Chain A
C-alpha cells in the first residue's frame, strides 16, 4: 500500500470549517528529465486526489508534473455530520492509494 498521511481533526462542531492536509509518498517523475545517456525518463506522477465525505465528493484536484515530489495538497471542508472522510489518490502506471478518517460532528 502506498504510504499517505492525512491530517484532519477527529472532532468538529457542525458548520465548522476544518482544515485537511494531505501528503502522498511519490517521486512525481515529471517526464522532462534525462539520464546521463540522454534518454528521457518517462513521466510517473499522481494525477488526481479526491476527498469524499460520507460518499459525497467535496474536493477533487488534478495534479500535473509541476507538482513537487511527495505531493502536498491542503484544503478545507465544512463539518456537516459525523461519518467518514475517504481520500483516494490515482496516477500513472496504475498508482492508487487511499485513506479513511472518521469524524465526529456535534
Chain B
C-alpha cells in the first residue's frame, strides 16, 4: 500500500513537472500589444463595456436583494456545491431555477454573459482563490488529465503549447500560458464577449478535435483545473484578448 502511495505521489509530481512555477505565471495580458492592453485598461472605452452595463442592470433587478455583496465570489469558482462541481454560469442558473422559479439562461446568451461579466467584474484585482481540497481533488485531477491528453487530428495536448511552449510564436502570434484570468472577456476575433468554454471550444476546433458541449462535465472540470493552475493570479474580468 505504501509503495502504491509512493508511486502515486511520484507520478503526480512528474505530471506537475510540466506545470508553470508560480513565479513564472504570466497573464495573457502580457502577451498582447500595447494597443490591445489599452482597450482593456480604459474602463470607459473597453469594448466589453456594454456587456458589463447590461449585466449590472440585470443583477440589480434580479439578484441584488439576496446578493448585496459578491466581491470575491468569481475568484472561487468553479466550486463543489451540494456534492456537485459547478461553474459560475451553472450557479447562476441554479439560483434562477431553484430560488426564482425562472427559466435557466442558455450558454453564450447575451443575458448570461452579461450577468457573469458583471459578477466576475466585482472580483477584479483579487487573486484567484481555488484550493486543492478533498471535495474537488478528483475534479482537478480529471481536468489535469484532459489538459495533458493529446486530442484531435493534430494530436496535440493543451500542455504541449501552454506549458511547454508558451512565449514562442505560432503563426505570428505569441502562445500565452492559457490562464483564465479575465473571463468572460471580449475577444477581438469574436467581436463580442464570450465565456471560457467558448474559448476552449475554439482551441479544440483548432486541433481538429470534436469540442465538448457547453456545460459538459469535461468542460467544468477543465475550467476548475485551469483556475487552480492560475491560483494566486489576479482576476482581470472583463479582459480584452486577441
A-side residues, CB < 8 A to B, are: 3, 5, 7, 21, 23, 25, 27-28, 68-70, 72, 74
Answer yes or no: B65 CB below 8 A from chain A CBs: no
Contacts A5-B44, A7-B44 given; does A27 touch B191 at CB 8 Å: yes
Contacts of B44 in A (CB 8 A): 5, 7, 21, 23
Q: How large is the interface on B (under 10, 10 to 19, 20 to 34, 35 or more residues)?
A: under 10
Q: How many A-B residue pairs have CB under 8 A?
A: 31
**Which chain B residues lie closer than 8 Å to A70 at the CB level?**
47, 50, 191
Given contacts A27-B191, A70-B191, contact A3 B50 (CB under 8 A): yes
Task: Point out the residues of chain A lying under 8 angstroms from B47, CB to CB.
Answer: 23, 69-70, 72
Question: CA of A92 to CA of B187 in the docked complex: distance in angstroms?
Answer: 25
Whether a CB of chain A sits under 8 angstroms from the CB of B86 is no
B interface residues with partner A (beta carbon < 8 Å): 44-45, 47, 49-50, 53-54, 191-192
Q: Is the interface of B mostly helix, strand, loop or mixed?
A: mixed
Chain A: which residue is nearest B190 at the CB level? A69
Would B45 and A23 count as touching, CB distance under 8 A?
Answer: yes
A25 to B47, CA, bound (A): 8
Q: Which residues of A contact B45 (CB under 8 A)?
A: 5, 7, 21, 23, 72, 74
A5–B49 touching, CB < 8 Å: yes
Q: How far is the CB of B50 from chain A (nearest CB, A)?
A: 4
